[in-house]
Amino acid sequence: MYADLISLESEAESISTWQVGVIPGLLQTADYAREIIRATAMSEAIEARVDALVEVRLARQAILPHESPVSLWAIIAEHTLLSGSENEGMMREQLARLLTMGKRPNVNIQVLRSHTPLHVGQMGSFSVLGFGPHPDLDVVHTESLTSALYVEERDKVAAHRDAWQRLTSAAESVKASTDLITQIRKKL
C-alpha cells in the first residue's frame, strides 16, 4: 500500500533509490508526476484520481526540507532524463527541479550513463530505506505497475545494499551528474 511507503519514508533516516525509468517521486514536479501517473495508470480508478495522487506524491516531499530531514541519495538512469513529453517544458522544469534539489545538503543525485557496461541495476528499480543505528529495521521497496513489495529479510536487504554500492560506483559523480543534467536541460 502507498500508505506503508509514506509511513516508512517519514520515519527513515536515509533513502537510497535507484530508478531505471522514472524520476524518483520525492524529486518530481507536479507536471511530471501528473504525466507519469497518467502514463502508467492501469485502471480507470487510477485515471479518475490523478490529481489526488499528484497531491499525495508532492506531500511526500515534505520530508526533505523537514526540521530533521531524511538523507536522500538518488541514482537515475540517463535515458530517464531524456524522456520526451507532449507537455512542452515539462522535462525542462523537471530537470531544473533536480538541479535545485541537488543543492540541498541532504540530497545527492547521480546519473548512471546509458553507455555503462552491464550492471546489477538492470534487474530493476529499488529503494533502501535506512533506519540509522538500527540496520536490522532497514526495508527495501520495489514496485511494479500493479503492486509494491517490501523486503525486510536481512540477507535480501544486504544484497540490495551491495547492489546500491555497485551502482554508486558505476554512476557519474554527483558533480559530473549535475553537469550532465545541466547540459541535457540546455538542449531542451
Q: Alpha helices of 49-153 — where are they, by DSSP H?
A: 50-60, 78-81, 90-101
Q: Which three cell numbers stand for residue 72?
A: 536522500
pLDDT at 29: 97
What is the number of other CB atoms lying within 10 angstroms of the CB of residue 7? 11
Sheet with 14-19: strands ordered across? 107-112, 71-77, 14-19, 126-130, 139-143, 148-151
Q: Report whether 92 contacts 31 (CB < 8 A).
A: no
pLDDT at 155: 97
Q: How far apart are CA 188 and CA 175, in angstroms?
A: 21
- Render pLDDT for 67-91 as a digit per residue (tens, 0 to 9): 788 999 999 999 999 987 888 799 9
CATH class of 2-187: alpha beta
The residue with cell 506524491 is 57
Query: CA separation (Å) from 113 to 6, 67, 90, 160, 167?
Result: 29, 34, 22, 20, 11
What residues form DSSP beta bridges with 109? Answer: 74
Q: Report whether 29 contacts 144 (CB < 8 A).
A: no
Q: How far apart are CA 188 and CA 144, in angstroms?
A: 29
Query: CA separation (Å) from 43 to 13, 28, 37, 79?
Result: 34, 22, 11, 26
Q: How far apart are CA 160 and CA 16, in angstroms?
A: 10
Q: Quote the mean pLDDT of the chain.
A: 93
- Render pLDDT for 95-141 as a digit per residue (tens, 0 to 9): 999 999 999 999 999 999 999 998 999 999 999 999 998 889 999 99
Share of the chain above pLDDT 90, in %: 81
Residue 186 has pLDDT above 80, yes or no: yes
Q: What confidence category does residue 1 fall into, taking pLDDT thresholds of 50, 70 and 90?
A: low
Tell me, yes or no, if the pTM score tops 0.85: yes
